[in-house]
């Protein structure tokens, strides 16, 4: 077997791939593909196609995934809004008591730790999406576009959203602070 690729009668010599630091020499086989149908030819070509490393070559960290988290929180917020609105609309038909008084009474009967956990879980997507949206507006106005600035802004979004979520989770609307008294 020589080092050439024969496809449709055209012989190609070996290929050399140059990267930034090293030279990789790849030898191609000289198998002629004569399948009986175009579909078989496509299957044979796909079997010989090199596999791209895709996401496995990247170092995975929070800064890389912040854009995906922004989209996920947006989908989560809008999906839960539409789901609850649809359930609220069809609650009388389904025989569910989903009015405001019932929801408030059910939430009020929960232990304090469960209430805090539910409030924290509900506020995280909202605060993250809001602060990430502000970061994206800053990018749209040509600010914080450098690599270090962008990374810092992403971490600031996480810190601000976590602290705002904690504040909202532990906030009790009936209590007055000592400063106001």
**Residue 3 — very low, low, confident or very high, per pLDDT cuts 50/70/90?**
very low
Helices (H), 5-146: 38-48, 62-94, 100-108, 112-140
The Cα 38–Cα 16 span in angstroms is 29
Q: Domain-by-domain residue ranges, the chain?
A: 4-50, 62-170
Whether 125 shows a pLDDT value over 90: the answer reads: yes
Q: What is the average per-residue pLDDT within 51-57?
A: 69
Tokens standing for residue 137: 């507006």
Mean pLDDT, all residues of the chain:
81
**Residue 60 — very low, low, confident or very high, per pLDDT cuts 50/70/90?**
confident
Percent of the chain whose pLDDT exceeds 70 = 74
Q: What local confidence, expressed as pLDDT, does residue 156 receive?
A: 95
Q: What is the average per-residue pLDDT within 25-32?
A: 58
Whether 90 shows a pLDDT value over 70: the answer reads: yes
Fold of 62-170: 3 helical TM bundles of succinate and fumarate reductases (1.20.1300)
Q: What local confidence, expressed as pLDDT, does residue 59 receive?
A: 76
The Cα 165–Cα 128 span in angstroms is 9
């Amino acid at each position: 077997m020589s080092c050439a690729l024969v496809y449709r009668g055209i012989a190609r010599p070996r290929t050399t791939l140059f990267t930034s630091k090293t030279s990789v020499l790849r030898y191609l086989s000289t198998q002629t593909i004569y399948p009986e149908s175009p579909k078989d030819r496509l299957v044979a070509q796909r079997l010989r196609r090199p596999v791209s490393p895709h996401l496995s070559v990247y170092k995975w960290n929070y800064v890389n995934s912040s854009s995906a988290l922004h989209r996920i929180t947006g989908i989560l917020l809008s999906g839960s809004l539409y789901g609850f609105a649809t359930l609220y609309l069809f609650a009388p038909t389904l025989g569910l008591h989903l009015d405001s008084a019932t929801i408030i009474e059910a939430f009020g009967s929960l232990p304090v730790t469960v209430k805090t956990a539910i409030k924290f879980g509900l506020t995280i997507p909202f605060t993250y999406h809001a602060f990430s949206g502000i970061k994206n507006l800053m990018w749209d106005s040509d600010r914080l576009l450098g690599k270090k600035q962008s990374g810092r802004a992403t971490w600031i979004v996480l810190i601000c959203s976590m602290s705002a979520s904690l504040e909202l989770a532990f906030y009790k609307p009936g209590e007055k602070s000592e400063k106001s008294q």
